[in-house]
């Protein structure tokens, strides 16, 4: 299977995943994963594992699923799925990084392409059904679950299991990438241990990563042999890599977000409200309190947490605090001042979570113009950021600029490769009353030209669908 055919298949799957209710674009978790992912990708390129051609032509995009099952998986075209469950059970950044490095290596070594080529009978739609099924595992997501029917899909699912040699190769290459990026190689071993111990405790399928990645004694011994001899010094992370404390906060976030039971939230709220609660427990308590509708308590916990964490974790806590202040409810005395100050520093930040939260705060404080200017600048640099486009659309509506608002909404659909949805909105923009349309001739010209672009993209998309 050629690189471009693999990418096309991956793009099609990605389009379906964006619409899947299990798909989660949480900017805070996304920023954290990028802090792990970008150094891994850079190391893989530097080491020649990802040659320039592959770096350019595959997506190298992470997609998060709300799934509680401990899993991560490589998909065709350079897309990687990461479940909240994986973040929730890990204790250190290098543990997640080791799983990402392993999956990255399945992609860079073209294992998926090799499997698809080997299994010629596996039609791309079967592959699609299977990947979506993996994404929806543990949920009752109707469409995806129903897609896996018939014996051919089952056969395909079994044949996607990588061979032992491929697993070994992904371990070997992944270990080099992990340590090359500056992470502690011990992450591979502790992750293995964690999976192995957890699998002894529960056999309820919550660890699908083990089904696709059986932990043979060989694999563990191999990994241990790669580690330096002698006791490991407690290594401090390379500058720029996330700290253990940052990981603990994100892991707590994933734990709460993947949980639907109010009883668990109540337990976490009580644990994290104790005077000597750890930073992770306090984070989980604040978010649980918000889920339980106890907003004031959530804000108080986040403020305590702010004084508890190191400077590297401060932005993560500030993001939480903004999120809580922005959730429905009136602001107490002084909280409006706090929100305004968080807004100003967030708008000046280069982190995606901060930019998006800063823009929301600008909208909440009646300053849509500031949201528009920051989001526009951001969308130029990140044209595939659907959330930024959607927020820009809201800000434009708040300004009363309907034409701009509809066009930004269309761009959000383009960003998720939903060209039919985008075209519908561009047509609606062109059909606005003349007084609205003609108020901004430049924007109208952009709408006209984007419509032509999107029509071509849609044609191409439909032609590909017919060929497959
Ligand atoms: Zn693997």
Concatenating the DSSP letter of every residue in 259-328 gives: ---HHHHHHHHHHHTSTT--HHHHHHHHHHHHHTT-HHHHHHHHHHHHHHS-GGGHHHHHHHHHHHHHSS
Could you give the CA distance from residue 123 to residue 271 in angstroms, rounded to a whole number? Answer: 50
CA of 132 to the centre of ligand 1 (A): 18
Residue 13 three-state SS = helix
CA of 117 to the centre of ligand 1 (A): 18
Place of tokens 């001042």: 337
Count of CB atoms within 10 A of residue 2's CB?
Answer: 10
Could you give the CA distance from residue 174 to residue 184 in angstroms, rounded to a whole number? Answer: 12
CA of 24 to the centre of ligand 1 (A): 23
Polymer length of the chain: 468
CA of 208 to the centre of ligand 1 (A): 12
CA of 384 to the centre of ligand 1 (A): 29
- The DSSP letter of residue 213 is S
CA of 93 to the centre of ligand 1 (A): 19
Q: What is the pLDDT along the chain (468 residues), one digit of tens a residue?
A: 889 888 988 888 888 888 888 899 999 999 999 999 999 999 999 999 999 999 999 999 999 999 888 888 888 899 999 999 999 999 999 999 999 999 999 999 998 888 776 655 555 555 555 555 544 443 433 333 333 333 333 333 444 567 788 888 999 999 999 999 999 988 888 888 777 776 665 545 555 666 666 666 677 777 777 776 544 444 555 778 999 999 999 999 999 999 999 999 999 999 999 999 999 999 999 999 999 999 999 999 999 999 999 999 999 999 999 999 999 888 888 999 999 999 999 999 999 999 999 999 999 999 999 999 999 999 999 999 999 999 999 999 999 999 999 999 999 999 999 999 999 999 999 999 999 888 899 999 999 999 999 999 999 988 887 776
CA of 167 to the centre of ligand 1 (A): 5
Q: Which two tokens stand for residue 421?
A: 């949805």
Note residues around ion ligand 1 (Cβ under 5 angstroms).
167, 170, 213
Cα pseudo-dihedral 284, 287, 135, 71, rounded to 10: -10
CA of 221 to the centre of ligand 1 (A): 16
CA of 168 to the centre of ligand 1 (A): 8
Residue 304 · residue 323 · CB < 8 Å: no
CA of 150 to the centre of ligand 1 (A): 26
Could you give the CA distance from residue 122 to residue 112 in angstroms, rounded to a whole number? Answer: 12
CA of 368 to the centre of ligand 1 (A): 46
Query: Which residues are within 8 A (CB) of 341 and not within 5 positions of it... i.e. 6 or more apart?
Result: none
């Amino acid at each position: 299977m050629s690189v471009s055919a693999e990418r096309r298949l991956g793009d099609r799957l990605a389009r379906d995943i964006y619409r899947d209710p299990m798909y989660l674009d949480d900017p805070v978790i996304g920023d954290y994963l990028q802090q792990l992912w970008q150094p891994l990708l850079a190391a893989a390129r530097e080491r020649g594992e990802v040659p320039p051609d592959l770096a350019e032509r595959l997506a190298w995009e992470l997609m998060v699923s709300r799934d509680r099952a401990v899993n991560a998986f490589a998909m065709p075209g350079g897309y990687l799925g990461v479940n909240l469950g994986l973040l929730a059970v890990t204790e250190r950044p290098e543990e997640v990084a080791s799983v990402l490095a392993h999956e990255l290596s399945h992609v860079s070594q073209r294992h998926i392409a090799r499997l698809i080529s080997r299994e010629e009978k596996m039609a791309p739609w079967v592959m699609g059904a299977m990947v979506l099924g993996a994404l929806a595992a543990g949920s009752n997501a109707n469409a995806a679950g129903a897609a896996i029917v018939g014996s051919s899909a089952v056969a395909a699912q079994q044949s996607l299991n990588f061979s032992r040699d491929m697993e070994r190769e992904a371990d070997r290459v992944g270990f080099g990438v992990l340590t090359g990026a500056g992470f502690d190689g011990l992450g591979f071993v502790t992750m293995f241990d964690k999976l192995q111990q957890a699998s002894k405790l529960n056999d309820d399928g919550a660890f699908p990563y083990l089904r696709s990645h059986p932990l043979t004694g060989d694999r563990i011994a191999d990994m241990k042999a790669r580690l330096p001899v002698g006791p490991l010094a407690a290594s401090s992370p390379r500058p720029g890599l996330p700290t253990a404390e940052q990981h603990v906060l994100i892991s707590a976030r994933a734990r709460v977000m993947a949980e639907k039971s109010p009883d668990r939230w109540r337990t976490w709220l009580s644990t994290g409200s104790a005077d000597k609660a750890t930073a992770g427990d306090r984070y989980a308590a604040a978010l649980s309190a918000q889920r339980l509708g106890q907003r004031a308590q959530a804000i108080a916990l986040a403020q305590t947490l702010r004084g508890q964490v190191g400077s590297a974790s401060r932005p993560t806590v500030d993001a939480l605090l903004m999120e809580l202040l922005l959730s429905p409810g009136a602001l107490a005395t002084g909280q409006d001042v706090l929100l305004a100050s968080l807004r100003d520093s967030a708008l000046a930040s280069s982190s995606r979570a901060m930019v998006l939260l800063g823009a929301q705060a600008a909208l909440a404080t009646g300053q849509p113009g500031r949201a528009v200017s920051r989001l526009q600048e951001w969308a130029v640099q990140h044209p595939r950021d659907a959330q930024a486009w959607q927020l820009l659309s809201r800000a434009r509506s708040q300004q009363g600029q309907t034409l701009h608002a509809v066009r930004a909404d269309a761009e959000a659909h383009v960003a998720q490769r939903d060209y039919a949805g985008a075209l519908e909105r561009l047509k609606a923009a062109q059909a606005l009353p003349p007084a609205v349309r003609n108020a901004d001739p430049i924007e109208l010209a952009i709408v006209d030209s984007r419509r032509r672009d999107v029509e071509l993209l849609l044609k191409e998309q439909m032609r590909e669908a017919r060929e497959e």
